[in-house]
Chain A
Amino acid sequence: MAIFSVYVVNKAGGLIYQLDSYAPRAEAEKTFSYPLDLLLKLHDERILVAFGQRDGIRVGHAILSINGVDVNGKYTGDGKEVLDYLANPANYPVAIRFGRPRLTSNEKLMLASMFHSLFAIGSQLSPEQGSSGIEMLETDTFKLHCFQTLTGIKFVVLADPRQAGIDSLLRKIYEIYSDFALKNPFYSLEMPIRCELFDQNLKQALEVAEKAGTFGPGS
């Protein structure tokens, strides 16, 4: 999979659509006996690893499940506090699964509107008048591509740095948006897109783009 996610941001900076199309890698499950030789801390309603990185368990990873039961923030599946549960020797041995905490939909919303502002700052910083905002943001693990339409909608695609053909994919997503969101009379403008057909066609376009783009430069 070389395209990680798609975001659609309306002209006010609100996130109106988000799709993740990757399976999280880097999850590790390990059985521990008492005492737990990892230092855990509570941060932002999640239990994170603070110290003791090893066996694929990294600092910053969150506890995803205990004995196969998913944890819910700082609580275990049956509602006990995770830290209390792990402090009790009677509960050991215990199998804990760690992984990178997923972005919550609230966090995605925040990040999208933050990107909206960065985009505007980008165009204001420009030495030339009439510059566009951020079109691409590159990191060592992914590239963010952004396309803003004349009406102010932003389409953002996060993809593998080697993935080619993102520009035409962004145009294609615009077409899909104009077809399956806007031509659906029951979709109200500027609101979150909850259209089955939009989903289907978008996923199809991502598949096509991934297949067509894997022979691009660098791969």
Chain B
Amino acid sequence: MSRQASRGTESKKMSSELFTLTYGALVTQLCKDYENDDDVNKQLDKMGYNIGVRLIEDFLARSNVGRCHDFRETADVIAKVAFKMYLGITPSITNWSPAGDEFSLILENNPLVDFVELPDNHSTLIYSNLLCGVLRGALEMVQMAVDVKFLQDTLKGDGVTEIRMKFIRRIEDNLPAGEE
């Protein structure tokens, strides 16, 4: 509807190259600032978290998604709406756990790593770890505690990039009124 047209930033869609290069600069600077890769991974996750808690409001204000009633619905919204909207890709959802509380997002082409080759001395660096933080922060704001991590990464020679999401619990203490 007119919602799309009225979105000021829709016309401001910029080249993803500037974004990936900026992200690359961020990661390399962090690698300079911190001794080991674990600290870099932690910083990326933290930054992602801070982005996620703000981004969720933008997402909810722009898209017409309502509350998800199960984790499968959440997975669909993340893959088909959110990734599409912010990164222009649609990951596939696979590897559901029997209990339905865990799934994997398979990214065929991760825009963050377009031009990246990991040097040998950064074998434990999780280059795109920011994404984990974003997902965790955003879902926390809609009262879902989740665990997010990379299982496979094409940068490390895997065939695909796989993000594993595990539902931990509903966050009951800041549930808005009217939600069960």
Contact = CB atoms under 8 A, between A and B. Distances in A.
A joins B in a complex? yes
- Best-surrounded residue of A130, A150, A153 (most CB of chain B within 10 A): A150
B93 interface: no
A153 B57 contact: yes
A182 interface: yes
Nearest to A201: B8
A131 B176 CA distance: 12
A141 to B, nearest CB: 26
A150 B176 CA distance: 8
B61 A171 contact: yes
Given A150-B67, A189-B54, A174 B61 contact: yes
5 closest Cβ contacts across the A-B interface? A152-B176, A123-B178, A120-B177, A178-B57, A182-B54
A183 B58 CA distance: 9
Contacts of A123: 177-178
B81 to A, nearest CB: 14
B142 interface: yes
Contact of A148 (B7, B56, B66, B178): B178
A151 B54 contact: no
A133 B176 CA distance: 9
Given A152-B176, A178-B61, A182-B58, 15 more contacts: A12-B174, A119-B177, A123-B178, A148-B177, A151-B56, A151-B57, A152-B174, A175-B7, A178-B54, A178-B58, A178-B62, A179-B9, A183-B54, A189-B53, A189-B54
A149 interface: yes
B60 interface: yes
Interface of A: 11-12, 116, 119-120, 122-124, 129-133, 148-153, 171, 174-175, 177-179, 182-183, 189
A14 to B, nearest CB: 13
A12 B177 CA distance: 11
B179 to A, nearest CB: 8
Interface in B122-180: 141-142, 174-180
Interface in B59-80: 60-62, 66-67
B72 to A, nearest CB: 18
A132 B178 contact: yes
Nearest to B53: A189
A153 B142 CA distance: 11
A212 B51 CA distance: 35
A139 B26 CA distance: 54
20 contacts: A11-B176, A119-B177, A119-B178, A120-B177, A122-B177, A130-B180, A133-B177, A148-B178, A149-B61, A149-B176, A150-B60, A151-B60, A152-B174, A174-B60, A175-B62, A178-B58, A178-B61, A179-B9, A183-B54, A189-B54
Contact of A175 (B61, B176, B180): B61
A182 B178 contact: no
Given A150-B67, A150-B142, A182 B180 contact: no
Contacts of B142: 150-151
Contacts of B175: 152
